[in-house]
Structure 1
Amino acid sequence: MPKRSAGLLLWRRREGVVEVLLAHPGGPLFARRDDGAWSVPKGEYTDDEEPLAAARREFLEEIGTAAPDGEPFPLGEARQSSGKVNVVWALRGDLDVTEVHSNLFSMEWPPRSGRHQEFPEIDRAAWFDLETARRKIFASQLPFLDRLAEHAHDDR
């Protein structure tokens, strides 16, 4: 059974342009990466957790504030090259992300040093128009932007 992650893709319309909120992974592995290294705020969940509840929990843990109220629209699933399956919902809303307060994770750093350090799960979040977001997001998550574009076109 592959690992599964759930996430919320927050979106808004500014002067007719659809923008999405993406998160940049924290820690040393992504410190110098930008294009192709951003993500929908998401995280793993277990079989006994409802995926949408997990998506809301992960949004809170990674962004530092609860997702806005509203009715999420399912964007379906997409598989990463590792085999992990991501399930994502679109949620229309707005949020100031100038100060993100993410939870922390621990990893051995530098590699093979025997030292463990803590890093934020995400180090920043930002709003991007869909064209820019396509360049910024992990390739495995591109289907969610395509599906959102169709949904947002119908939801004017």
Structure 2
Amino acid sequence: MAQSKQSAGLLMVRWHNDQCQVLLGHPGGPYFQKKDAGVWSIPKGEPEEGEDYLHAAQREFHEETGLTAVGPFTELTPIQQKGGKTVHAWAFKGDCDPAALTSNTFAMEWPPKSGRQVEFPEIDRAEFFDLPVARQKINPAQVALLDELAEKFAR
């Protein structure tokens, strides 16, 4: 039996106007361009062979936002997404200007069957959301990360 895919990511948390907010990224590329609710995600990606999950989460966060995450990091319970991928996540306190973030890119054939390779950002935009709004925006499987975060970071 094939091993399920693993992913590791970081969830940046800040307090703004006495509200807990989280930084989420909107996936780039043409398939997500007009989608909003349920498609945002924590910055994450697959670990390299033998790579520590927290290290992978920090690397992926940097690749997808251009920022270097500074701990301490609070481990959250791994979740499983609809496609079977297990996401290992850590929360940390931080702040940034989401409009200033820069993401790495990926190439795909676009339009389909055109033979043209087009570059797209992995994250085309990022925003801070209060937890109630974040619950609507985030991939449904990742809501459990927000719930646990709310418990661990409650003031």
Category of TM-score, reference length = shorter chain: over 0.9
- Of 14, 21, 24, which aligns to 1:22? 24
Partner of 1:117: 118
Partner of 1:94: 95
AA paired with 1:32?
K
Q: Deviations over 1:90-121 (max 9, x none)?
A: 10111122122100101111112222111000
Identity %: 51
- C-alpha separation between the residues in 2 aligned to 1:98 and 1:110? 28
Q: Deviations over 1:61-86 (max 9, x none)?
A: 0001212x221001121111111110
Q: Shift in Å at residue 46 of structure 1?
A: 3.0
- C-alpha separation between the residues in 2 aligned to 1:117 and 1:14? 37
Partner of 1:148: 149
- C-alpha separation between the residues in 2 aligned to 1:35 and 1:90? 22
- C-alpha separation between the residues in 2 aligned to 1:92 and 1:116? 38
- C-alpha separation between the residues in 2 aligned to 1:122 and 1:110? 19
- Of 35, 38, 41, which aligns to 1:36? 38
Partner of 2:14: 12
AA paired with 1:55?
A
Structure 1 unaligned residues grouped into runs of 5+: none
Structure 2 unaligned residues grouped into runs of 5+: none
Say which SS state the counterpart of residue 89 (structure 1) adopts. Answer: strand
Q: TM-score, normalised by structure 1?
A: 0.94
Partner of 1:45: 47
AA paired with 1:52?
L
- C-alpha separation between the residues in 2 aligned to 1:5 and 1:64? 19
Say which SS state the counterpart of residue 23 (structure 1) adopts. Answer: strand
Q: TM-score, normalised by structure 2?
A: 0.95
Q: Between Structure 1 and Structure 2, how many residues are aligned? A: 153
- C-alpha separation between the residues in 2 aligned to 1:66 and 1:97? 14
- C-alpha separation between the residues in 2 aligned to 1:70 and 1:54? 14
